[in-house]
Structure 1
Amino acid sequence: MLARFGWRGIPLAVQVCEKTSPLSYASKQRLFPGVSSGLNIKRCIFTPHEAALRLTFPNLIHKVEIHTSNSHLKKRKVQEEPEPRELDLLRYDMRSLKDAPKPALYLGLGGLIPFVAAPLVMNATACYYPEVAFAQVAYGASILSFLGGVRWGFAIPEGSPAKPDWKNLANSTVPALLAWLALLFREDLSESTFFVIMGLGIALHYDLSLLPTYPPWFKALRAILTLVAILSLVGTLAFSSVYPHKSLNMKTT
């Protein structure tokens, strides 16, 4: 509640409330005659006649909080903090998949063919082909190196949200190193497949949450492509223990 007092032609606005103020009844009557005894003074706000008010009310400056600006008359805008983005693709980024450029969408989906073809061939023939499995692993290793290069290309241009610092550039080399390990263990395709799967998962984690993020449509596309690739690798790995092993030259191993 605001009570207005006129004193020697100088307007004065006194804000009163019921809970806050250490001023006693005698002090309130001395500083503000006419204020009800049941009300406590909280703040004194007056117009720019500060010099005259200091002469009229010398004790007011020391005992009551004074505010001389007119900001209390302005409507303050409350800035709403953006909702924190969590790893919730179905809620956020999947909606932006329709905004993906057609070349990126078609080339990305076409890039799944070498991943998906291996388990489909094995399931259709009821045989596990080590050459096909290695071709799938080698393709996955090349994709890991490609993903690391994409991060470098995203961070290096001037004005990019991702800076060319140690965090971006060093982390983007991890998938390529895992791809190298996958090719080193070619004699054991189970271990090679594991390295590729781990590299794909780490690269997706970097791009979605750890490092400065890509556009929403690219994150959605990355999530779909990575999920399908991992499932294809897991399917090939499972067929190795289910179907008999045969090489492409029809020699049983």
Structure 2
Amino acid sequence: MMQIPRSALLLGLAGVIPFAWGALTTVNADLQIWGSVNLGPRFVGPYVQLFYGSVILSFMSGVLWGFAAKTTGRMATAGYALSVIPALWAFFMTGGGPTSAATSLIFGFLGLLLLDWFFWRLGLAPSWWMNLRGLLTALVVGCLAVGVYA
């Protein structure tokens, strides 16, 4: 497999920062207070994770849509249908409080990884895609789990 391009890796890791920040401010009261005062209460703890997680699942639907656009006919139709699942999941499954929403996001990101694999297996994603997506999914799920189990 090809190595992940540096820019994709760095941008992907930067995208984990809000999840990591949310986890840190969940377990560290002083950091949560600082963040609430300086950034606002929406940008600490599970709140930043849940909002940002919904945005990222929706963004990834767009990425998958782009992969589906590389096909035609029934394969394109199936790809387009599959590509909207992460955004719909985020929309419908993130209510009910921070613990259930975070749990739903965890399952959403794990399901997204399966969709990533499907598109990659069809040759629609770059050869390095699963290396990047596996790493990012592990980091995101780990950060979300802090909010669920803390």
CA contact (8 A) 1:181 1:192 kept: no
Q: Which has the higher contact order (CA 8 A, sep 6+)?
A: 2
CA contact (8 A) 1:141 1:182 kept: no
The aligned counterpart of 1:152 is 65
Larger radius of gyration: 1
Size of the aligned set, in residue pairs, is 137
The aligned counterpart of 1:193 is 102
Query: Displacement, 1:146?
Result: 0.8
Please point out which of 95, 103, 114 is paired with 2:7.
103
Query: Equivalences for 1:25-174 in 2 at 5 Å?
Result: 93=1, 96=2, 99-125=3-29, 131=42, 132-156=45-69, 160=70, 162-163=71-72, 165-174=76-85
In structure 2, list runs of 5 or more residues that go unmatched. 34-40
Partner of 2:122, secondary structure, is coil
* Aligned mates of 1:148, 1:115 — CA distance in 2: 19
* Aligned mates of 2:142, 2:97 — CA distance in 1: 19
* Aligned mates of 2:29, 2:129 — CA distance in 1: 35
* Aligned mates of 1:195, 1:126 — CA distance in 2: 28
* Aligned mates of 2:78, 2:57 — CA distance in 1: 18
The aligned counterpart of 2:138 is 227
* Aligned mates of 1:106, 1:127 — CA distance in 2: 25
In structure 1, list runs of 5 or more residues that go unmatched. 1-92, 240-253
Report the aligned-residue RMSD: 2.4
Query: Displacement, 1:155?
Result: 2.3
Q: Which has the larger helix fraction? A: 2
* Aligned mates of 1:223, 1:206 — CA distance in 2: 12
* Aligned mates of 2:31, 2:149 — CA distance in 1: 12
CA contact (8 A) 1:152 1:172 kept: yes
CA contact (8 A) 2:65 2:79 kept: yes
